[in-house]
Structure 1
Amino acid sequence: MTQSALIRPAWTPATIALMVLGFMVFWPLGLAMLAYIIWGERLDAFKADVNRATDQFAGSFRKSTGGMRGTSSGNAAFDEWRDAELARLDEERRKLDEMRREFDDHMRDLRKARDRKEFDQFMAAREASQARTRKGGSVPEIDG
């Protein structure tokens, strides 16, 4: 197979230079380049094998179109119990999510109230400071 790419898994001047540069900059880069030069030809076959295995693994989940509820254990009583438990857990999850939303709303209201109180205190202090400035005719000095 004739390859004309500059960087290919072979002992070319470019790959050797990149390997040496990789070792000089950060040794794992040089090691990775060395591995690519030596085993790079097998990379396409390895990638195809990994993709095929991943597709088969994911396909096994797609066959059961409902997760655990779509699969049958072969025991009707167990399947009925499992479905009832999963429904109960779904309801508990829904309740917990609702409680979380309510708590988040409560915390947001508390933060708003605290911010409003702090802002009102700031405005009162600012108005008092401005009133003193207008009364005294000069800017008050701040000790610091």
Structure 2
Amino acid sequence: MTTYTETAAPLHSEQGWFSRSESWLDSKGKGAWIAAMVLGFVFFWPIGLALLFYMIWSKKMFSSSFRHRSASKRWARHSMSSTGNSAFDAYKEDTLQRLEQEQSDFESFLQRLRDAKDKAEFDDFMDERAKAAGSEDSAKES
């Protein structure tokens, strides 16, 4: 009699326990890192100290949005993986390229808009300055 034993691979089997726990803490936010550090100090102070040094070294303590960065990394990893359907993969690649082009066009439009606003404000400033200088000159001549 033959039995079939299913061996399920653990999630993220290609990553080590440290990478998995780091990803988990990143997904929970800065508060989770701080809580882990405090718990490390409470239970065994070298662990808390190691977590503190790691957070400072990796700049997790001072970054405001590492949750957003890690989420965008996960999305980028997921969006670049092949589905096995070549037609869909080609469509997805074309769509991503089009969206990237639209984003860069929009960013350049916003930059031109900011430049035009800055130029208009500077021109207004120079006009006001010239008017003020003109009124001072006419006041001195009188």
Relative contact order, higher structure (CA 8 A, sep 6+): 2
Which of these two proteins has the greater Rg computed from alpha carbons?
A: 1
